[in-house]
């Protein structure tokens, strides 16, 4: 029993913490930042104002985390984000392929709590900043109303990953809100501020459950009355039908005409009116008898924000960087979501709920976008990074933001080790150390191929028991009717192979087959037709052979395109091979893909076609024979710093008849190995949406599940079992001294030819 007599005034308990890095904000950006810094050896305090991690991806908001893959509805092949966010996405798919948002909370908490260098403070709000001088933050004050504790946290470095930029705002960093005029950055897509508005709003979504029996619903008084009168999209089947729920209602958006920070509560109450008004319409209008047994299982209690402050960094990324895919000396991350702007009137607006325009490929994001010039120890990450309003339409999405979080975490560690401040690290002579650390931990930086001398494979000889030379994608008995164009995407080094295959025609007809490539060889937009052949077909089965006779000046991916002809069927293959996929010139309205993109003149965006893959289990390659066989699965590929298909497969794949494959690395002299990293093919083309959308498998087919590592004396020095991850790091308790190591993977059953994407030893 505790009894305290009257006291004129009591003080809350106060706890002081000193650490290396304070990360304010526990969305995906803050989580990746904290994990990255902790793994680099920093002591980290992660302060999150909510009871769960994940921000807009958490069970409180339930928006699926996405990035450059864009629901696999654009031309960004093998573009899922790497590093820590990839680790999270792959782990969530393994544990939670059904997309349960509560389980995704669990994955994030598990990841953070497993890092011994992270102190996690949930339900804790940063509300004050102490400064050492004008340019230096000394500490923050935060409060947890659950335990009535005030925290005074001092640190060497601070990362603002709050989404609204609370820390940077309190510290005095320069920022912007709203849209710039088009002439500021030469952006043709800059919105008309009066008619379209200059802020993206918030959204609240809801989940529905079928109870199997009638459920009555009485709307609350605050619900929007006659929702169908005020919400035009309730009459548009592209947006509304009774069978959809969750993220499909992202367009229940509001608040773009208000201050998206200070008016948050006002916006939330309006969205509640909308949600319950829409539900009342579904249940009680009499138009939807199929809704009789449905109940509203969950509706968001906080709104998901898209945009608020954007801080001014050492560099501001803009539309030209994205559409032009401009390279920067300090690129450290990448994006590829469409430039996605929404009308400020949101759910009440006429017309489309968003305007999305894609670039032809992924774009790089420079490190300078994460650094404030005003403060010497502050990093800015997530949607508040330095971007124009237009560019923010793409960079704001969660997986792209999460890449920036890892960048900041690893940058803070380098700054601690070297004494460089965030701005000093941005200098051309210093940035390569950060880029190297990112790449060696599984990140992808477009166009950047750094030779990492820390990797002992650099000067080593690599050989294998066999190397796949793919002569045949075997027909599995199924056929694809060419109601719309289809293509096999293959890597070539110089000359395109000739192709032989069987085709069925329902009548005498002609089929156009084209060899296409991208105007930028690193892209997967087939905007250049290199060769075309018109093939005469007779009714029934036809055996065709095509030699395009075309040579390229460098390695790249090319498309063997079969143009639309509904009278023709082409054979499919169930073989799954690392670095190969079939794509289709079809539509995906969810990401404004209607087969091609034709923007209005003057907005600075290009016209082009979309050629996108299907999802498994529907996905198939196109069955064909290649002459000569595709010779792009060599053992030497494991030295590449691109741990994904890019300009080539970048994978070692053993021959299909090799039942005991091995890959050997010979150093030429004894080497002392402390850490070994192995990179696997977890299908970087799979978007791996975190919630709601289920996935057909929990482990990607081409992921090597088990292997052994053997030293020069024949002793087993490491073993991996039941792997499902993109990267496995083996840290030897006692460093291994050996002149060679041999990696012996397990051979999978069936038509799967998995690739080893990289080996890193130091």
Residue-wise pLDDT tens digits, 531-545:
999 999 999 999 999
pLDDT single digits (tens) 502-528? 999 999 999 999 999 999 999 999 999
624 by DSSP, 3-state: which? Answer: strand
In terms of Cα–Cα distance, which of 417, 168, 157, 450 is closest to 332?
Answer: 450
Residue whose pair of structure tokens reads 């609350």 in the numeric block: 220
What is the model's pLDDT at position 587?
87
Task: Give the whole-angstrom CA distance, residue 399 versus residue 401.
Answer: 5
What is the model's pLDDT at position 452?
76
Q: What is the mean pLDDT of residues 76-100?
A: 98
What is the model's pLDDT at position 453?
77
Write a three-state SS string for 424-489. Answer: HHCCCCCHHHHHHHHHHCCCCCCCCCCCCCCCCCCCCEEEECCCCCEEEECCCCCEEEECCCEEEE
Q: Are 660 and 505 in contact (CB under 8 A)?
A: no
pLDDT-based confidence at 750, cuts 50/70/90? Answer: confident
Task: Please report, for residues 60, 478, 690, 743, the alpha-carbon distance to residue 675 in angstroms, rounded to integers and kept in the order given.
Answer: 39, 46, 31, 15
Task: Give the whole-angstrom CA distance, residue 153 versus residue 132.
Answer: 13
Q: Are 679 and 443 in contact (CB under 8 A)?
A: no
What distance separates the 2 farthest-apart alpha carbons in the chain? 99
Residue whose pair of structure tokens reads 């060679």 in the numeric block: 740
pLDDT-based confidence at 4, cuts 50/70/90? Answer: confident
Decide which of 727 and 453 is more confident. 727
- 165 token code pair: 């930029």
pLDDT single digits (tens) 623-640? 999 999 999 999 999 999
Which DSSP helix (H) or strand (E) runs through 583? strand 581-584
pLDDT-based confidence at 749, cuts 50/70/90? Answer: confident
Q: What is the mean pLDDT of residues 733-743?
A: 96
Taking the chain, what is the end-to-end CA distance rounded to the nearest angstrom? 59
pLDDT-based confidence at 50, cuts 50/70/90? Answer: very high
What is the model's pLDDT at position 56?
98
Task: Give the whole-angstrom CA distance, residue 543 versus residue 475.
Answer: 13
pLDDT single digits (tens) 314-350? 999 999 999 999 999 999 999 999 999 999 999 999 9
Q: What is the mean pLDDT of residues 257-281?
A: 98
Q: Are 399 and 86 in contact (CB under 8 A)?
A: no
Which DSSP helix (H) or strand (E) runs through 331? strand 331-335
Which DSSP helix (H) or strand (E) runs through 540? strand 540-546
**Cα 48 off chain centre by:** 22
pLDDT single digits (tens) 644-675? 999 999 999 999 999 999 999 999 999 999 99
pLDDT-based confidence at 161, cuts 50/70/90? Answer: very high
Task: Give the whole-angstrom CA distance, residue 167 versus residue 162.
Answer: 8
- 373 token code pair: 């010039």
What is the model's pLDDT at position 591?
83
Please, which residues have CB within 8 angstroms of residue 336's CB and are 6 or more apart in sequence?
A: 67, 68, 69, 70, 74, 76, 79, 359, 361, 362, 363, 394, 400
Please state the pTM of the whole predicted model: 0.97
Q: Are 38 and 117 in contact (CB under 8 A)?
A: yes
């Amino acid at each position: 029993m505790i009894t305290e007599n009257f006291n004129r005034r009591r003080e809350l308990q106060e706890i002081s913490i000193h650490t290396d890095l304070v990360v304010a904000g526990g969305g995906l950006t803050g989580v990746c930042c904290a994990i990255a810094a902790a793994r680099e050896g920093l002591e980290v305090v992660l302060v999150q104002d909510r009871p769960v991690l994940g921000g807009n991806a958490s069970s409180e908001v339930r928006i699926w985390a996405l990035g450059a893959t864009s629901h696999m509805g654009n031309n960004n092949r093998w573009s899922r984000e790497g590093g820590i966010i990839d680790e999270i996405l792959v782990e969530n798919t393994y544990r939670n392929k059904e997309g349960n948002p509560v389980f995704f909370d669990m994955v994030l908490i598990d990841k953070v709590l497993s890092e011994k260098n992270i102190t996690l403070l949930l339900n804790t709000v940063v509300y004050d900043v102490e400064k050492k001088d004008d340019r230096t933050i000394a500490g923050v004050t935060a409060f947890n109303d659950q335990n009535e504790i005030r925290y005074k946290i001092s640190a060497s470095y601070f990362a603002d990953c709050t989404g609204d930029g609370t820390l940077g705002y309190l510290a005095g960093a320069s920022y912007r809100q709203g849209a710039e005029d088009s002439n500021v950055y030469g952006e043709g897509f800059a919105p008309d501020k009066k008619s379209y508005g200059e802020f993206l709003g918030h959204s609240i979504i809801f989940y529905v459950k079928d109870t199997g029996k009638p459920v009555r619903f009485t709307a609350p008084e605050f619900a929007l009355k006659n929702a169908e009168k005020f919400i035009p999209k309730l009459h548009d089947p592209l947006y509304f039908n009774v069978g959809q729920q969750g993220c499909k209602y992202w367009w229940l958006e509001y608040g773009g005409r208000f201050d998206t920070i200070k008016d948050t509560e006002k916006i939330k109450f309006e969205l509640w009116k909308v949600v319950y008004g829409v539900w009342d319409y579904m249940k009680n209008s009499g138009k939807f008898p199929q809704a009789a047994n449905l109940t509203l299982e969950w509706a968001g209690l906080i709104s998901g924000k898209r945009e608020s402050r954007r801080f001014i960094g050492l560099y501001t990324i803009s539309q030209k960087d994205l559409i032009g895919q401009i390279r920067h000396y300090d690129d450290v991350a990448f994006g590829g979501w469409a430039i996605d702007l929404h009308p400020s009137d949101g759910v009440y607006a006429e017309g489309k709920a968003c305007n999305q325009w894609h670039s032809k490929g992924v774009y790089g994001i420079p490190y300078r976008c994460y650094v404030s010039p005003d403060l010497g120890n502050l990093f800015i990450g997530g949607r508040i990074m330095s971007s124009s309003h237009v560019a923010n339409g793409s960079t704001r999405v969660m997986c792209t933001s999460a890449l920036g979080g890892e960048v900041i975490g690893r940058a803070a560690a380098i700054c601690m080790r070297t004494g460089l401040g965030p701005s000093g690290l941005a200098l051309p002579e210093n940035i390569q150390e950060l880029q190297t650390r990112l790449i060696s931990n599984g990140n992808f930086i477009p166009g950047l191929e750094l030779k990492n001398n820390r990797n002992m494979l650099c000067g080593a000889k690599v050989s294998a028991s066999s190397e796949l030379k793919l002569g045949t994608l075997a027909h599995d008995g199924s056929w694809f009717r060419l109601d719309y164009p289809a293509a096999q995407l293959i890597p070539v080094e110089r000359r395109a192979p000739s192709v032989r295959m069987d085709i069925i025609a329902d009548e005498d007809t002609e089929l156009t087959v084209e060899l296409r490539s991208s105007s930028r060889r690193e892209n997967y937009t087939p905007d250049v037709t290199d060769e075309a052949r018109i093939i005469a077909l007779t009714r029934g089965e036809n055996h065709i052979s095509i030699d395009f006779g075309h040579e390229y000046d460098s390695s790249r991916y090319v498309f063997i395109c079969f143009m639309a002809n509904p009278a023709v069927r082409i054979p499919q293959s169930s073989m799954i091979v690392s670095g190969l996929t079939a794509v289709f010139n079809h539509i995906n309205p969810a990401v404004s893909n209607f087969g091609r993109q034709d923007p209005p003149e003057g907005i600075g965006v290009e016209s082009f076609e979309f050629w996108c893959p299907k999802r498994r289990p529907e996905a198939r390659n196109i069955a064909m024979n290649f002459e000569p066989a595709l010779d792009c699965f060599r053992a030497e590929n494991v030295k590449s710093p691109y741990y994904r298909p890019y300009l080539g497969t970048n994978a070692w794949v053993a021959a299909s008849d090799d039942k005991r494959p091995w890959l050997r690395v010979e150093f030429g002299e004894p080497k002392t190995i402390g850490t070994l990293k192995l990179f696997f093919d977890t299908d970087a083309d799979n978007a791996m949406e975190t919630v709601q959308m289920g996935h057909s498998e929990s482990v990607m087919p081409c992921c090597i599940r088990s292997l052994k590592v053997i030293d020069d004396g024949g002793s087993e020095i490491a073993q991996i079992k039941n792997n499902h991850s993109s990267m496995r790091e083996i840290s030897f308790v006692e460093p291994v001294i050996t002149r060679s190591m041999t990696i012996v993977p397990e051979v999978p059953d069936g038509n799967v030819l998995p690739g080893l994407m990289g080996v890193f030893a130091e």
